[in-house]
Chains A and B, each alone.
Chain A
Amino acid sequence: MNSQAMSANNPSDLPVVSDRLAKNAMRNVSERLIEALLLGAAAVSVLTTVGIVYVLVSESIHFFQQVSIVDFLTDTQWTPLFDDAHFGIMVLVSGTVVSSLVALSVAIPMGTIIAIYLSEFANSKVREIAKPILELLGGIPTIVFGYFALLVVTPVLQVILPELPGFSLLSAGLVMGIMIVPYIASLSEDAMRAVPMSLREGAYAMGSTRLYTALHVVVPAAFSGLAASYILAISRAVGETMILAVAAGMQPNLTWNPMEPAATITSYIVQVALGDLPHGSIGYLTIFAAGLTLLLITLVFNILGQWLRAKFRENY
């Protein structure tokens, strides 16, 4: 009734106008609903993050009431469950850093080269096949990568390096690198494809080859996107757990040598969390102190990433 009264003022095509109004009203309601849903989803994720940080920090405070921060940062042993307990986090940090460096030294060059190839050289057919395969590789559970490292890569490496032990940061790191390649390749490719064609045309018009254009114009233009993908890769490497738990051995070992086995922050956490430590014991609290350390390391890289983005934002 109402809509008819309204459209009476508008003599042209009565039913169409009222139809449209009704649809609009419906759309408004559903839009509100979707908005509320999105807000709810955002709130859940923010609250989860806040909750995690709260738990990590509050439990870590209990930990640091019993262990001094100086000892935590400078002790060269990590034996929290022994009678003669030591809490030198650097032992775990060294494992994390070495395995991550090995992984990144594989993943960054390979990922970048694949991205350059896909974005600047491959025709659309190749790209259509290669991209899903890459994404598939990114979807393999990391436990599979872990056993691949332990059962395939380590034995192969031992042929070349006979003194390599059965568990090593090298083997785990290499496989972790392969696991990260798709992330870098996919994000970097997106960044390079976002470089406008007019920039490439400018480079070709100056007589440059495809490769020269890719390396001297497209890569610098996409630099902030590439840097973001590298930072994400670092976060992935630092946070990776299963591959290291399976293939790097879990004994705490302060070392910078990738040929040795060592525990990392993550593999320590998973190891201890699987045992049944009494709630509130010092061993239990180490999980949170280690977790907080991990969070801080990732945070540093995220901030670095933000800073790089701002400094080298796309200037095309």
Chain B
Amino acid sequence: MQIHDNPALKAEARNLNFYYGEAKALKGINMPIYDKKVTALIGPSGCGKSTYLRSFNRMHDLYPGNRYEGEIRFFPDNTNLLSPEVDPIEVRMRVGMVFQKPNPFPKSIYENVAYGLRVRGENNKRVLDDKVEHALKGGALWDEVKDRLNELASNLSGGQQQRLCIARALATDPELLLFDEPTSALDPIATAAIEELVHELKKRVTILIVTHNMQQAARVSDYTAYMFLGEMIEFGKTDEIFLKPKDKRTEDYITGRMG
């Protein structure tokens, strides 16, 4: 028997191809996502990081002409997230997402966090209060907003809005949380707060994070994948990728010779 120090799998991409109409944006991606770990996706702009990330919650289904090939297996139940028989809404019930720009809904802070619970039919005030508080604490925002839960979310600062979006995603207890460059619109202090939060969150949830900032990848992630031109060039433990990359292209990117 072979001894693995790898933790359990949460998801796995198998021969994943993706097409925007005729344009092939992802080329034969194979990659594991480990349970309760942070996996970072790095690579030059336009290499397909967002495209790959958005396959996990079937975001591409919203637009006509997009097509997946291959599988994303989701564990422990071994569901193929991309199967046409799997309802994208079911997928999104299990996989949360935080976007590049904070996108709070035009509602109160409270209602933003309660949103996903209400979508799932929860209307009991006590349960909602409880879960909203828990999620806001999880998003490291509770202390800042507990006295103004009924204010419009748009009154919050950018960093607070992004943490609100994280709390919103956490409220429904997702199994996998997707982050697409969550700090690219934030200042360094707000960025540090989010990074710390990501680190904290991996106790509860598996995280897949796209970042164009390699220091960030190095700081927050356990595993790192380097993508280039729609291909997965290299995947491994973050320190291995950064200290001794196997592929020349990864090394060039990391040492700043390209991208």
Contact present for A207 and B119 (CB under 8 Å): yes
Closest partner residue, chain A, to B171 (CB atom): A206
Q: Which residues of A contact B97 (CB under 8 A)?
A: 205
Tally of A-B Cβ pairs under 8 angstroms? 68
Q: How large is the interface on A (under 10, 10 to 19, 20 to 34, 35 or more residues)?
A: 20 to 34
Contact present for A202 and B99 (CB under 8 Å): yes
Contact present for A199 and B172 (CB under 8 Å): no
Q: Which residues of A contact B116 (CB under 8 A)?
A: 206-207
Closest partner residue, chain A, to B178 (CB atom): A205
Contact present for A221 and B106 (CB under 8 Å): yes
Minimum C-beta distance from B199 to chain A (A): 22
Q: Which residues of B contact A202 (CB under 8 A)?
A: 99, 103-105, 165
Q: Which of B89-110 contact A (CB under 8 A)?
A: 89, 92-93, 96-97, 99, 101, 103-107
* Chain A binding surface, main DSSP class: helix
Q: Which residues of A contact B154 (CB under 8 A)?
A: 315-316
Contact present for B59 and A204 (CB under 8 Å): yes
Q: A17 in the interface, Cβ–Cβ < 8 Å?
A: no
Contact present for A207 and B103 (CB under 8 Å): no
Q: Which residues of B contact A315 (CB under 8 A)?
A: 106, 152, 154
Q: Which residues of B contact A200 (CB under 8 A)?
A: 62
What is the CA–CA distance of A200 and B152 in the complex, to the nearest angstrom?
Answer: 18
Q: Which of A170-221 contact B (CB under 8 A)?
A: 196, 198-209, 212, 216-217, 220-221
Number of interface residues of B (CB under 8 A): 27
Q: Which residues of A contact B92 (CB under 8 A)?
A: 204-207
Contact present for B62 and A204 (CB under 8 Å): yes
Closest partner residue, chain B, to A217 (CB atom): B105
Contact present for A207 and B107 (CB under 8 Å): no
What is the CA–CA distance of A217 and B116 in the complex, to the nearest angstrom?
Answer: 12
Scoring B residues 134 to 173 as 1 if CB is less than 8 Å from chain A, else 0, what string do you get? 0000000000000000001010000000000100110010
Q: Which residues of B contact A223 (CB under 8 A)?
A: 106
Minimum C-beta distance from A188 to chain B (A): 16
Q: A123 in the interface, Cβ–Cβ < 8 Å?
A: yes
Q: Which residues of A contact B93 (CB under 8 A)?
A: 207
Closest partner residue, chain A, to B120 (CB atom): A207
Minimum C-beta distance from A207 to chain B (A): 4
Q: B226 in the interface, Cβ–Cβ < 8 Å?
A: no
Closest partner residue, chain A, to B98 (CB atom): A205
What is the CA–CA distance of A258 and B116 in the complex, to the nearest angstrom?
Answer: 44
Given A206-B119, A207-B116 in contact, is the A198-B99 Cβ separation under 8 Å? yes
Given A207-B120, A220-B106, A220-B107 in contact, is the A201-B59 Cβ separation under 8 Å? yes
Rank and list the top 9 A-B pairs by shortest CB-CB distance, nearest first. Answer: A315-B154, A205-B97, A202-B103, A207-B92, A206-B116, A207-B93, A221-B106, A198-B103, A208-B119
Which residues does A use to contact B, with CB under 8 Å?
A: 123, 196, 198-209, 212, 216-217, 220-221, 223, 314-316
Q: Jot down 9 A-B pairs with beta carbons below 8 A, ordered by A.
A: A198-B101, A199-B103, A199-B106, A202-B105, A205-B96, A205-B97, A205-B169, A206-B168, A221-B106
